[in-house]
Amino acid sequence: MIYLYSAEKADRLDPWFSQGIVILWFTASWCGTCRAVKRALSGSNRETVPIIEIDVEGWKPLAERFHVRGVPMLLLLKDGEVLDRKGGSLDHAEFTAWYDSHPVLKPIGGPRD
């Protein structure tokens, strides 16, 4: 299962992404593509890293900090460092392929060769 956390409920975000592995998902309430991406992210049935949902309208300084220019945008972080970013629309298969392409992550699409 993918854990979606809303940034608006977190007192401090730094502990979430300054240590360990996390995916930041920048979104906006007015973004139709973002809603489609949420379905793709929620469609996984395997345990994975946390995905933190961040509304760019409410968290502009955080979006600026990570140079987010458009939504939806996924950022893969390890110990606060951006390892990769994926922007635009994606379905569950595309998300799984992107996720599984990173050796720091436990695969969700099945065992690796």
E strands of 1-113, at which residues?
3-6, 21-27, 50-55, 73-78, 81-87
User: Quick one: DSSP state of residue 31?
Assistant: -
Q: Give the pLDDT band of residue 113 (cuts 50, 70, 90).
A: very low
Pairing between β-strand 73-78 and β-strand 21-27 as defined by DSSP bridges: antiparallel
| Distance separating alpha carbons of residues 60 and 73, to the nearest angstrom | 14
In this predicted structure, the answer to whether residue 112 has a pLDDT above a threshold of 50 is: no
**How far, in Å, are 16, 31, 45 from residue 3 at the CA level?**
13, 21, 10
Mean pLDDT of 18-44: 87
Sheet-wide strand order for 81-87: 3-6, 50-55, 21-27, 73-78, 81-87
Residue ranges covered by each domain of the chain: 3-100
Provide the whole-model pTM: 0.81
Task: Give percent of the chain with pLDDT exceeding 70.
Answer: 73
Query: According to CATH, what is the number of the domain 3-100?
Result: 3.40.30.10
